[in-house]
RNA sequence: GGUCCUGUAGCUCAACUGGAUAGAGCAACUGCCUUCUAAGCAGUAGGUUUCAGGUUCGAGUCCUGACAGGAUCACCA
């Protein structure tokens, strides 16, 4: 049984025995004791004064005395105002440590038999990935790992937006200005090549608009009548009709993009179990519209358009099918939701999509629940804030974006020069060194984007945002490398740091105890991160853990320690910390080096 | 304008979901490498938690109203 659980149960008994009052375990909770007070757990007695009918101090004292007497682990207590601070014996902490140390993988809770799909990335195929996509991809991958560690079976899905007016724009521009350019002939990655023509389209389109405006058309007319735009619209019609030449060009350009994406995904370290393509799904959902009409969830207006009325849920009326019978954005999402369920019979479905689509998903989920879908309550929009630059919002058409490939490379280069400056690569082969730079550069980038609460909008300053010191990925990686070094030496010297090497040890230094407390928290954090869909909780925890370890490292010596039991224990404590850091970082999709 | 999200040290972020004197990192300053990796450790300084009310033993956290920033409100995706 967990230590905290045991204390809470004893508290429950205390209320029964001392005050003849029944409480549930859920009524009682412990919080960490603040650093300036003696103790590890604190029980706040204020809410129970009505039950104890005593003043706060007396209540705390009564409960504290009961705990010391009836709970072996509790060795002392003190009461400050209404706060009962509980001290746990050092031998209890030792046995807590023995328990967690025996677990080979701290980041793996038993299977819960449930299936969840996490849809993330979901790029458009007309341009390369940028900084905003990085946040999406890292979040999606990390949340998948976290859910898996919590016992879910996870299907990582990517719904590729491969059709529509945007890709037609790139195609039109390529037709006019491409001169049969290919990734090979241009030396450009396929996604960058497609993006180049998307930008060209916009540039030429704007020229045409200005020309038409100078001929007396309004802005609105000009936007509609510009030949390039009309051509793009026509191309979309041809595509939908399956016209072979158009489809051929579409396939050719998309394949270039996919090759480019594949490289970037590989570099980012993210992966998918299932790809969906909108070219396959964009016609789905019409049967659901029919179903909704039959069930009375939807209604038809005079012109034949179909709507859902969500005013009773605090939203508005929303169109789900046009008067001419064609789909809108949400129509296909209705269909895709069912498709996912039919493919995998999932219990939960998570959509990692920016907060600009909050309203859309609110509507989508409410509709699915009204339709009585079995997975309705398992739908979740992991909504994250935009990544802004100091110059403001990123706009891909205007070229004010931080390109994902460029940024990753920049991070790796920075890691390289920083590492060389510190002179830390003695004895590294070239391959090892390069792999280290990649680990550190990506670690810094991923940690930076994941440590912030997903729903918060964040600022990215290319010059200043990425550091290698303080609350950063490399700081945590460094802590791991330090421990790895200790373990190498311990193995070399032949120190036994398995449990029997320090059995019977009862004396603990404060930093050692603090480390055990933190290590013991990992499971709780893991659950919380899954409940909140928040890798930031793991990131924050790992920083705290690394920080605490570095304090321990600075304060106490291992190899100069005369008592061999203490020595073995400190190495075991180090090993457990490394294990936890490695497992936790893996949840974030970050590797940790053994040397740096 | 309606709805939703956000507002905490100069900057970037925490605060265990209502608990004690609001904590870290960066930047600044002071110490610590003849000892296991100084990408580290210890310390100093930095705050009316945007503002005004309210709820209660207790509010950064909940409620109301301002103010500021962002998103969204198409027979676009």
Distance CA A68, CA A75 (A): 6
Res. A27: pLDDT tops 70: yes
* CB-based burial, A99-138: b 16+ in 10 Å, e otherwise: ebbeeeebbebeeeeebbbbbbbbbbbbbbbbbbbbbbbb
**A359 and A386 Cβ atoms separated by less than 8 Å:** no
Distant-in-sequence, close-in-space partners of A431: CB < 8 Å, separation ≥ 6:
none
pLDDT value of residue A398 = 61
Strand partners, A350: A118, A380
Q: What one-character DSSP code corresponds to residue A456?
A: S
Please say if the pLDDT value at position A549 is more than 80: yes
A105-157 pLDDT, tens digit per residue, is 888 888 999 999 999 999 999 999 999 999 999 999 999 999 999 999 999 99
Query: CA at A384, C1' at B69: how many angstroms apart?
Result: 17
Nucleotide nearest to A383 (CA to C1'): B5
Only one residue has tokens 């605490």, namely: A548
Is domain A3-88 given the CATH code 3.90.1410.10 in the classification? no
At A553, list the tokens.
Answer: 């490292």
Q: Is A531 within 7 A of strand B by CB distance?
A: yes
pLDDT of A465 above 80: no
Residue A155: helix, strand or coil by DSSP? strand
pLDDT number for residue A395: 66
pLDDT-derived band at A221 (thresholds 50, 70, 90) equals confident
Cα angle vertex A584, ends A583, A589, to 5°? 90
Measured from Cα to the C1' atom, the residue closest to B21 is A36
Over chain A, what is the mean pLDDT?
92
Question: With a 7 Å cutoff on the CB, does A471 touch strand B?
Answer: yes
Integer distance in angstroms from the first to the last C-alpha of chain A?
A: 39
A354 within 8 A of A386, measured Cβ to Cβ: yes
Beta bridge partners of A380: A350
What whole-number distance in Å separates Cα of residue A170 and Cα of residue A173? Answer: 5
Judge if the beta carbon of A165 is closer than 7 A to nucleic acid strand B.
yes
Distance A533 CA to B56 C1' (A): 32
More confident site: A104 or A74: A74
Q: Which tokens in the block code for residue A176?
A: 């006019």
For the segment 67-106 of chain A, residues whose CB is within 7 A of strand B: 80-83, 85
In this prediction, residues A377-402 reach a mean pLDDT of: 80
Query: Which one, of A124, A129, A121, lies nearest residue A156 by Cα?
Result: A121
Helix and strand counts by DSSP (H, E) for chain A: 21, 14
**A487 contact to strand B (CB, 7 A limit):** no
Q: Distance in angstroms, CA of A385 to C1' of B70?
A: 9
Protein-covered nucleotides of chain B (CB closer than 7 Å) are 3-7, 11-17, 19-21, 24-27, 35-42, 57-58, 69-77
Better-scored residue on pLDDT, A564 or A393? A564
Bridge partners (DSSP) listed for residue A157: A119, A274
d(CA A203, CA A173): 10
The average pLDDT across A73-92 equals 93
pLDDT at residue A103 in the model: 87
Determine which helix (DSSP H) or strand (DSSP E) holds A572, and give its type and residue range: helix A564-587
A353 bridge partner residues: A383
Stretch A78-96: mean pLDDT, rounded?
93
Nearest DNA or RNA nucleotide to A80 (CA to C1'): B20
CB–CB of A344/A119 below 8 Å? no
Highest mean pLDDT among A208-217, A219-228, A248-257, A504-513: A248-257
Give the helix ranges, DSSP H, for A472-560.
Answer: 473-493, 510-531, 535-555
* A311 contacts: CB under 8 Å, gap ≥ 6: A317
Query: Could you give the C-alpha distances from A233 to A167, A200, A228, A380, A457, in angstroms and in order?
Result: 11, 17, 9, 34, 35
CB count in 10 Å sphere of residue A386:
16
Report pLDDT for A48.
93
- The yes-or-no verdict on residue A230 having pLDDT over 90 is yes
Q: CATH 3.40.50.620: does it fit domain A115-276+326-398?
A: yes
**The complex's ipTM?**
0.95
Chain A 238-297 residues whose Cβ is under 7 Å from strand B: 278
* The pLDDT value given to residue A35: 86
Asked if strand B comes closer than 7 Å to A32 Cβ, the answer is yes
Which residues numbered 332-391 in chain A sit less than 7 A from strand B, measured from CB? Answer: 355-360, 385-386
Q: Is the CB of A418 under 7 A from strand B?
A: yes
pLDDT score, position A318: 92
pLDDT band at A396 (very low <50, low <70, confident <90, very high): low
> Which nt has its C1' nearest the CA of A354?
B71
Q: Which residues 35-74 of chain A have a CB under 7 Å from nucleic chain B?
A: 36-37, 39, 42, 44, 46-47
Q: Tell me, what's the pLDDT at A1?
A: 64
The integer distance in angstroms from the CA atom of A554 to the C1' atom of B42 is 10
A156: part of which helix (H) or strand (E)?
A: strand A153-160
Confidence of residue A409 (pLDDT cuts 50, 70, 90): very high
Nearest protein residue, CA measured to C1' of B41: A554
Domain boundaries, chain A: 3-88, 115-276+326-398, 286-325, 404-587
A164 touches strand B (CB under 7 A): yes
In the predicted structure, residue A397 carries a pLDDT above the cut 70: no
* Closest residue to B69 measured CA to C1′: A457
> Tell me, which fold does domain A404-587 have in CATH?
Isoleucyl-tRNA Synthetase; Domain 1 (1.10.730)
Residue A397's DSSP bridge partners are none
Q: In the prediction, which pLDDT does A383 show?
A: 93
Put simply, whether the predicted model's pTM sits higher than 0.90 gets the answer: yes
Long-range CB contact pairs, A81-85, < 8 A, 24+: A81/A56, A81/A57, A82/A44, A82/A45, A82/A46, A82/A49, A82/A56, A82/A57, A83/A37, A83/A42, A83/A43, A83/A44, A83/A45, A84/A42, A84/A43, A84/A44, A84/A45, A84/A60, A85/A33, A85/A37, A85/A38, A85/A39, A85/A41, A85/A42
- Check whether A260 has a pLDDT greater than 70: yes
User: Which nucleotide across the nucleic acid strands is nearest to A282, CA versus C1'?
Assistant: B77
Q: Which residues pair with A130 in a beta bridge?
A: A403
Interatomic CA–C1' length for residue A591 and nucleotide B16, angstroms: 27
pLDDT greater than 90 at residue A414: yes
């Amino acid at each position: 049984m967990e230590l905290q659980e045991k204390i809470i149960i004893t508290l429950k008994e205390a209320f029964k025995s001392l005050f003849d009052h029944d409480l549930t375990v859920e009524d009682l909770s412990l919080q960490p004791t603040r650093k300036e007070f003696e103790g590890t757990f604190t029980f706040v007695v204020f809410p129970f004064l009505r039950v104890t009918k005593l003043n706060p101090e007396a209540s705390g004292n009564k409960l504290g005395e009961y705990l010391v007497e009836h709970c072996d682990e509790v060795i002392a207590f003190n009461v400050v105002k209404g706060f009962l601070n509980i001290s746990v014996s050092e031998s209890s902490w030792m046995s807590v440590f023995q328990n967690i140390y025996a677990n080979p993988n701290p980041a793996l809770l038993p299977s819960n038999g449930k299936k969840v799909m996490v849809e993330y990335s979901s790029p458009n195929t007309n341009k390369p990935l940028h900084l905003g996509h990085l946040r999406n991809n890292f979040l999606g991958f990390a949340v998948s790992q976290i859910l898996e560690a919590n016992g879910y079976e996870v299907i990582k899905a990517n719904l590729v937006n491969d059709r529509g007016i945007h890709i037609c724009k790139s195609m039109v521009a390529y037709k006019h200005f491409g001169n049969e350019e290919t990734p090979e002939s241009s030396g450009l990655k396929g996604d960058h090549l497609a993006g180049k023509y998307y930008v060209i389209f916009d540039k030429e389109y704007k020229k045409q608009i200005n020309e038409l405006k100078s001929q007396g058309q309004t802005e609105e007319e000009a936007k509609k009548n510009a030949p390039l735009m009309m051509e793009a619209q026509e191309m979309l019609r041809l595509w939908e009709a399956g016209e072979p030449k158009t489809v051929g060009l579409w396939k050719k350009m998309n394949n270039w993009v996919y090759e480019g994406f594949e490289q970037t995904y590989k570099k980012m370290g993210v992966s998918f179990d299932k790809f969906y393509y909108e070219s396959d799904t964009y016609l789905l959902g019409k049967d659901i519209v029919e179903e909704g009409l039959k069930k009375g969830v939807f209604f038809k207006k005079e012109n034949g358009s179909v709507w859902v009325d969500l005013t009773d849920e605090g939203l508005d009326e929303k169109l789900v099918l046009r008067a001419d019978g064609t789909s809108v954005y949400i129509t296909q999402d209705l269909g895709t939701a069912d498709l996912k369920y039919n493919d995998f019979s999932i219990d939960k479905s998570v959509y990692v999509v920016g907060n600009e689509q909050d309203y859309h998903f609110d509507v989508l989920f409410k509709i699915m629940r009204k339709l009585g879908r079995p997975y309705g309550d398992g739908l979740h929009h992991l909504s994250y804030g935009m990544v802004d630059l100091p110059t403001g919002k990123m706009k891909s058409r205007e070229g004010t974006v931080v390109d994902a490939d460029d940024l990753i490379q920049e991070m790796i280069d920075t890691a390289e020069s920083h590492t060389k400056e510190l002179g830390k690569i003695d004895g590294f082969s070239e391959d090892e060194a390069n792999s280290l730079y990649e680990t550190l550069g990506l670690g810094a980038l991923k940690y930076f984007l994941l440590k912030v609460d997903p729903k918060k909008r964040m600022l990215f300053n290319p010059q200043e945002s990425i550091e290698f010191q303080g609350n950063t990925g490399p700081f945590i990686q460094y802590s791991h490398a330090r421990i790895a070094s200790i373990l190498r030496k311990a193995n070399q010297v032949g120190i036994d740091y398995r449990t029997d090497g320090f059995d019977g040890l009862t004396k603990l230094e404060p930093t050692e105890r603090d480390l055990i407390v933190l290590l013991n928290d990992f499971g709780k954090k893991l659950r919380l991160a899954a409940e909140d869909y928040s890798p930031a909780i793991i990131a924050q925890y790992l920083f705290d853990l690394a920080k605490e370890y570095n304090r321990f490292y600075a304060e106490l010596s291992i190899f100069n320690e005369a008592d061999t039991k203490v020595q073995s224990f400190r190495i075991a404590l180090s090993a457990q910390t490394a294990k936890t850091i490695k497992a936790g970082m893996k949840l974030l999709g970050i590797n940790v080096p053994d040397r740096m």
